[in-house]
A and B are shown apart, each in its own frame.
Chain A
Amino acid sequence: MRAGIFRFMISKTSIPNRQIGEEIVLHIRRHWFIFFRLFLVFVVLSLIPALVYYFLLFNLPIIFKNQIGVVILAVLALIYYLFMLVYALTAWTTTYLDVWTITTFRIINREQEGLFSRTVAELDLYRVQDVTAEQKGVLATLLGYGDVYIQSAGEKERFVFEQISNPYGIAKILQKLNEKARKENPGL
């Protein structure tokens, strides 16, 4: 039971324009390491004012002997942390709201490209022509994340599942569902 403002959130089991017999196979998000990397970036960024403080303390100590200097530095540091906080949430929002859903009939692509840019697209599984999984780089190989490219018939753009866990396994699932969908839709 959802209360208050949380009742507006999307249920994990809901499918937009659900067809008869359609079930969710998977919801896919980026690999946990992508979120962890974001966290690390903000930990490093949060240390910058401290580094600046020590730099000024040793190189321009006169600033700290004057009340005006201290106040200006404090205001600038507070503004810096305000922007860092909101930038961290924006980074989280744009990463967390990228969700790829595989159902028994379709692939639903929800991508938050920025705070003011969101794309929702879907592709029928029987229209999938090619599925390619790719892992590039040492970290991606060690941690097991990568991209899955889905090429559809007659579509210029490819669907890309970016930086997801187990890309080869996901590609296999997509290929199996694609075969099944093609058998069920032989004329299409």
Chain B
Amino acid sequence: MIITLSIFYYLFLVAVAVFLLYSLFNVYHLLRFGFFSLINVLVIVLYVLIAASFLYFSFSILMTVDWSTPLIDFGNMSNNPF
């Protein structure tokens, strides 16, 4: 059995899911309970822009990685990636 580098990609996807969920809760709170003010609107818009740019940047970096690279090969334990 071979464990590939893709395990870290899945880890990243889980982190993105948690990030999106908590971001949604936060934005909902700011929209639902925040005053209609310039600073509140600005924070929401800026956050959405920064979050979207960061996710775009992250995925564009991670797309270049070969996730099929073996990380641990249980059939050949002497295969040390380092």
Contact = CB atoms under 8 A, between A and B. Distances in A.
Interface of A: 2, 5-6, 8-12, 27, 62-63, 66-69, 71-72, 74-75, 78-79, 81-83, 85-86, 89-90, 92-93, 96-97, 99, 110, 112, 115-116, 118
Q: Is the interface of A mostly helix, strand, loop or mixed?
A: helix
Contacts of A86: 18-19, 22-23, 26
A112 B71 contact: no
A108 to B, nearest CB: 13
B31 A85 contact: no
Question: What 8 pairs across the A-B complex have the smallest Cβ distances?
Answer: A9-B36, A79-B15, A75-B8, A82-B19, A86-B22, A89-B26, A68-B81, A78-B58
Main secondary structure of the interface of B (DSSP, over half): helix
Nearest to A82: B19
Contacts of B69: 67-68, 71
Nearest to A27: B35
Nearest to B14: A79
Contacts of B1: none
Contacts of A71: 5, 8, 65, 69
Contacts of A9: 31-32, 34-36, 40-41
Interface string B19-47: 10011011101111111110011010001
B35 A99 contact: yes
Interface of B: 5, 8-9, 11-12, 15-16, 18-19, 22-23, 25-27, 29-37, 40-41, 43, 47, 50-51, 54, 58, 61-62, 65, 69, 71, 81-82
Contacts of A92: 26, 43
Question: Which of A10, A11, A27, A110: most chain B CB closer than 10 A?
Answer: A10
Contacts of A93: 26, 29-30
Nearest to A71: B65
B23 A12 contact: no
Contacts of B62: 74-75, 78
B19 A75 contact: no
A89 B23 contact: yes
21 contacts: A2-B36, A8-B32, A10-B34, A10-B35, A27-B35, A68-B71, A68-B81, A68-B82, A71-B65, A75-B8, A75-B9, A82-B15, A82-B58, A83-B18, A85-B19, A86-B18, A86-B23, A93-B26, A96-B43, A97-B29, A115-B25
